[in-house]
Amino acid sequence: MKITTEAGERHVLAVTVDNEAGILAKITGLFSARGYNIESLTVADISADHALSRITIVTSGPPAVIDQIIAQLDRLVPVHSVTDLADGGAHVEREIALVKVAGSGDKRIEALRMADVFRAKVVDTTLSSFIFEITGTSDKVDRFIALMRECGLVEVGRTGVVAIARGAEAV
């Protein structure tokens, strides 16, 4: 007997929650308990009174599973709202990566040249290394990191995706 899984599509969910201990565990636990994917997850306090956090989750699944994820998140007591950003039309997504490259000679020059092409900023340098800061979609960050692998990449830190819908409305 083979165990098969259904292919899915990528969705970005914006979840507003009470900024209280244990909420993140509750949400990630829901995903692991029900077998949903988390491709990326970011969380930060977003309100002036520190009462609310926004969690951005990139997940994937068939439409029925995505619908179930939203319903399951929505019924958690500390969850205020769940928005599927793909549903509301256009949205923007950004991710930041810090990319450390070490080396000398041509590779060092090539790394700097490509960073310029990608509009990555140099945020730290030594005689033998750079740290680049790159902001963009996950795709763009992926491509930059792939190129840096050829130029002495030693370390990467990524934030994961944050996203927000275009236009004047809030979620």
Partner 1 sequence: MTEMSGADMVVQALVDLGVDTVFGYPGGAVLPIYDALFKHPTIKHILVRHEQAATHAAEGYARSTGKPGVVLVTSGPGATNAVTGITDALLDSIPMVVLTGQVPTTLIGTDAFQECDTVGITRHCTKHNYLVMDPDRLGPILHEAFYIATHGRPGPVVIDIPKNVQVATGTYSIPNRIDHKSYRPQVDPDAEAIAAAIAMIAAAERPIFYTGGGVINAGPDASAALRQLVALTGAPVTSTLMGLGAFPADDDQWLGMLGMHGTYEANMAMNRADLIIAVGARFDDRVTGRLDAFSPDSKKIHIDIDRSSINKIVPVDLAVVGDAGRALDALIAAWADKGHKARDLGEWWRRIDGWRATRCLDFPEKKEDGAEIMPQRAVKALFDATRGMDPIITTEVGQHQMWAAQHFHFDSPNRWLTSGGLGTMGYGFPAAVGAQIAHPDRLVICIAGEASLQMNIQEMGTVSQYRLPVKIFILNNQWMGMVRQWQELTYESRYSNSYSDSLPDFVKLADAYGWTGLRIDTLGELADGIQTMLGTPGPVIVDCRVAQLANCFPMIPSGAAHTDMILQPNDIVGTMDDEAKALV
The residues binding partner 1 (CB under 8 A) are 1, 17-18, 21-22, 25-26, 29-30, 33, 64, 67-68, 71-72, 74-75, 77-80
* Minimum distance, C-beta of residue 147 to partner 1, in the bound complex (Å): 42
Residue 116, Cβ density class (10 Å: 0-12 exposed, 13-18 middle, ≥19 buried): exposed
* Minimum distance, C-beta of residue 21 to partner 1, in the bound complex (Å): 7
* Minimum distance, C-beta of residue 74 to partner 1, in the bound complex (Å): 7
**Pairing of β 40-45 and β 121-126:** unpaired
Which candidate, 37, 51, 46, places its Cα nearest to that of 9? 37
Q: Which is nearer to partner 1, 22 or 157 (CB)?
A: 22
**Helix/strand/coil for 20:** coil
CA distance 8 to 5: 9
Q: Which is nearer to partner 1, 27 or 131 (CB)?
A: 27
* Minimum distance, C-beta of residue 5 to partner 1, in the bound complex (Å): 15
